[in-house]
Amino acid sequence: MWYGVYNVLLIIGFPFILCALLLKKRCRSGLLQRIGWIVPQGWGSQDHVLWVHAVSLGEVATIVPFVKTFHQRYPTTRIVVSTITETGREAVEQRLAGIATHCYLPLDYPWIVNRFIHALNPIGFLVVETELWPNLLRELSRRGVPSVILNGRLSSRSFLRYRWIRPFMCQVLSTVSLGLLQSVRDEQRFLELGASPDRMRHTGNMKFDLTMNGAHTSRPLIHRSTFGLSEDERLFIAGSTHPVEEEILLESYCAVSRAFPNVVLVLAPRHIERSDALAETVRSFGFPVVRRSRLPETGHQETVGPRVIILDTRGELAHAYGLAYMAFVGGTLVPVGGHNLLEPAAWGKPVCFGPHTDHCQEIADLLVESGGGIRVNNGQGLTETLMKGMQSQDWVSQMGLLVRKVIDDNQGVVERNVSMVEQVISFDEPRPPEEKRSGHS
């Protein structure tokens, strides 16, 4: 019954879904593939194919160490990584070049997912975090293809929504072979939705292991000269920021730059297509604007003194944090839920964030408990924290050591997850096409 209702709603909603995808610039690419007009050809006929789904840039970044580890162990297995957004595609092609092939995730209509599964013939399906597509998971289960939730989590908002349809979610989760979850809280939430206790495991957050794969183990790939900084200037980097939050940050920077004119603010908007609007906001506060994309290769530019650099390029934020004196992670002063707190922590930088950390609650708590993370309730709290940091370099250095220890103490998740996945997916031989077809009948 539940699947019937779900599919009727999908059919009724198709025009609206299509319009929504067309209106979102970052979701337009690959639309013909997503609606099943174009499907991968010949990928699964003879090869082992491991299908990994990661929604966008952040999820792709998380799975890079995992995918690389699998590729080293099973070099003959073809790894296909699907995404929904264009930024996700770019991340796959740049960070997993020569290791994984990209495709876009099909829309969750039975006839579309059937075509994709028939074309890929995967030996296993891994979904990153919480992309639970009922028809896709059910069809994979029917064909005997194991599905694994990798680095799984459930935000409070998603959990409350799913509780309204718990009988349906119980059916959906019954098609999942294994859930490898970020926290005890996530494990409890999946169990409350009806997941089998035998299939849910709290293994930790794979983002802790990003630093073990070259991301932050050496010098940053960009340098102070990239931003045209003088020797005595200090960078305060605010990453993955959102509207309203940016105004709070700029108000704090007004106060800090008056007392410490050698502080330069870097704003890295979560969505770089907002850079033009953000530049106007910055100018309204009276600060000169420097666009990273328009800086010469040498980084030399004539603007000096307090200024705001907008990081309007992709793929540089994680390394830019390595140049920071102090850092702030966005989506936390506004009710978004927070972004990757570990990127600046991996460089040993004090991490400031707001009260809205539902998407990264366990990590936020660990950082605060360590003494190296600073949770601020509002702009005034942020200003006071920045002032304290600018006055005491020793305090900043000590905070950096504490957050780095959190990273070191929580690594090893990728290896645990790889071992668990090996227990449910067979990498001995590829699935023959006739087995796939018979499983569907």
Please report, for the domain that includes residue 160, its CATH number.
3.40.50.11720
Distance between CA atoms of residues 11 and 17, nearest Å:
10
The answer to whether residues 296 and 433 belong to one domain is no
Residue 5 within any structural domain of the chain? no
Do residues 239 and 197 share a domain?
Answer: no
Q: Per the domain annotation, does 219 fall within a domain?
A: no
Sign of CA dihedral 236, 242, 248, 251: positive
**Pairing between β-strand 263-269 and β-strand 289-291 as defined by DSSP bridges:** unpaired
Helix (H) or strand (E) holding 127: strand 124-128
Q: Are residues 436 and 385 in the same domain?
A: no
Residue 14 lies in a domain: no
Q: Residues 324, 338: one domain? A: yes
What is the pTM assigned to this prediction? 0.86
Give a yes or no: residue 254 inside a domain: yes
* Strand arrangement, sheet containing 351-353: 289-291, 308-310, 263-269, 234-241, 326-329, 351-353, 373-375
The pLDDT score that the predictor gives to residue 24 is 77
Instruction: For residues 403 and 434, state if they share a domain.
Output: no
Indicate whether 6 belongs to any domain.
Answer: no
Report d(CA 105, CA 112) in Å as an integer.
Answer: 10
Q: What is the pLDDT of residue 210?
A: 81
> Is 400 a member of any domain?
yes
Residue 303 has phi, psi (to 5 degrees) of -70, 130
Q: What is the 3-state secondary structure (H, E, C) of 324-382?
A: CCEEEECCCCCCCCCCCCHHHHCCCCCEEECCCCHHHHHHHHHHHHHCCEEECCCHHHH
Q: What's the pLDDT at 43?
A: 60
Q: Are residues 252 and 113 in the same domain?
A: no
Catalytic residue among 59, 131, 233, 246: 59
Q: Looking at the structure, do residues 75 and 47 belong to the same domain, yes or no?
A: yes
Domain co-membership, 161 together with 290: no
The answer to whether residues 92 and 187 belong to one domain is yes
Domain match, 404 and 422 both = no
384 carries an active-site annotation:
no
Closest-CA residue to 85 (of 157, 119, 34, 120): 34
Residue 264 domain boundaries = 224-409
User: How confident is the chain (441 residues) per 10-residue block, as mean pLDDT?
Assistant: 93 90 77 84 69 93 94 93 92 94 95 93 95 96 97 94 96 97 96 97 93 51 84 96 98 98 97 95 96 73 84 91 96 96 94 96 95 96 98 97 94 96 82 47 34
Give the total number of structural domains in the chain. 2
Q: What is the CATH number of the domain that holds 402?
A: 3.40.50.2000
Q: Are 332 and 363 found together in one domain?
A: yes
Distances (CA, A) of 90 to 83, 173, 239, 389: 10, 31, 20, 37
Q: Pick left, alpha or beta for residue 47 (phi over 0 → left; psi -120 to 50 → alpha; otherwise beta).
A: beta
Same domain, 333 and 262: yes
Cα separation, 83 vs 110, whole angstroms: 19
pLDDT at 160: 94
Q: Is 246 a member of any domain? A: yes
> Is the Cα dihedral 303, 306, 312, 315 positive or negative?
positive
Does 423 reside within a domain? yes
Tell me how far apart the terminal alpha carbons of the chain are, to the nearest angstrom. Answer: 21
